Each structure stands twice: as structure tokens, then as C-alpha cells.
Amino acid sequence: MPRVVVDVLLKPEILDPQGQAIERALPRLGFAGISDVRQGKHFELTVDDDVDDVEGLVRKVADTLLANPVIEDFTVDVQS
Amino acid sequence: MPRVVVDVLLKPEILDPQGQAIERALPRLGFAGISDVRQGKHFELTVDDDVDDVEGLVRKVADTLLANPVIEDFTVDVQS
């Protein structure tokens, strides 16, 4: 059965306070050379074999439930 | 400068109440054929060009700050 990965990130123009907090914590923890940190959500789900349009179904689910399309972008990756 | 993606998921043996809540909501929203939903975190970060071991640095950051290695697994994917 296909396993599908959905990654959700805030749109680039939306402020990301979680990512900024991580970026500010890095030098304090001794890590240098990392910038532009963005935090989002990662989902993995299994789709039944009898679904014809796996990517289409998961795109609808992501648009309805997993992401807020007003402020977030998502990617759908169907794996074998 | 390399852009790196880190995905963090609860270990398979750890209960995932967020994923279960999504799974239970799907039939109510009219979506059938989806099972075994797991929710995790997705990070994207930029590493400076003068860092030699990009993946090694990001693995240390993930292990220290982005994931809780007691209950979570993570993957690191260095993109061009």
C-alpha cells in the first residue's frame, strides 16, 4: 500500500517564531553556520491499494485537515 | 549554500495521539482509505558554505535541539 509523506511549512512571507527561536538557540548551544531555520509539520500516512488517485486524495486531505492554506504551503510525496 | 531538511517522527513503538486524532477525523470529513497516520516535525535550515561536514553538523543539531532521541527518530536530507 502506498505510503505518502506530506510536509507543511508556513508560507515564506509568514513570520515563523518557532524557527527563529531555534536559530537564536543554536549559537548558545555552540553551533555556528546555520541560518534561515523554518519549522513545519511532517505527516506520513498509508493509502489503501484500491484508491485510484492517491496523490489527489492526499492533496484534498492536506488542504482540508493537515494544512491551513491561508498561511501554509504543503508538498505531497507518494512513496512506493 | 546547502539547504537541509530534517524530519522528526515519534519512534514506531511510541503512541502518536495527534496522528490518531487525524485518522479518526478523516471519515467524519468524508475521506476513506487512509490509515496509519503519524505526525511529526519538519525543519528546513541553511548551512554556510564554509562548513565541511554539513550532514554531521545538522545531525548533531537534530540530536541536541530538534528531536528528543529518547522517543523520536529523525532523518537528515542535504539538498543542493
- Which pLDDT belongs to residue B73? 98
| A5 CB burial (10 A radius; 0-12, 13-18, 19+) | middle
**What's the CATH code of the domain at A26?**
3.30.1280.10
CB B44 within 8 A of CB A38: yes
Summarize the confidence of residues A9-33 as an average pLDDT: 97
Q: Is A53 helix (H, G, I), strand (E, B) or coil?
A: coil
- Check whether B80 has a pLDDT greater than 80: no
The pLDDT-based confidence of A80 (bands split at 50, 70, 90) is confident
Q: Do A43 and B40 touch (CB under 8 A)?
A: yes
Compute the distance between CA of residue A47 and CA of residue B37 in angstroms, rounded to an integer: 10
The mean per-residue pLDDT over the stretch B33-62 comes to 97
Helices H / strands E in chain B, number of each: 2, 3
Residue A58 and residue A47 in contact, taking contact as beta carbons nearer than 8 Å? yes
Q: What is the pLDDT of residues A52-67, one digit of tens each?
A: 999 999 999 999 999 9
Question: In the 8-state DSSP scheme, what is residue A13?
Answer: T
pLDDT tens figures, A22-53 = 999 999 999 999 999 999 999 999 999 999 99
* Share above pLDDT 70 across residues of chain B, in percent, rounded to a whole number: 100
Per the structure, the complete domain to which residue A59 belongs is given by 3-79
Say which of A33, A60, A64 has its CB closest to residue B48: A33
Per DSSP, the residues of A55-71 read HHHHHHHIIIII--TTT
- What is the total count of domains within chain A? 1
CA distances to B22, B30, B34, B40, B48 from A77, rounded to whole Å, are: 18, 22, 15, 15, 28
Residues facing B76 on adjacent strands: B6
The partner residue sitting opposite A61, judged by closest CB among B26, B38, B41, is B26
Among B42, B12, B66, B58, residue whose Cα is nearest residue A67: B42
pLDDT score at B25: 97
Interfacial B residues in 24-53 facing A (CB < 8 Å): 25-26, 29, 31-48, 50-51
B19 touching chain A per CB within 8 A: yes
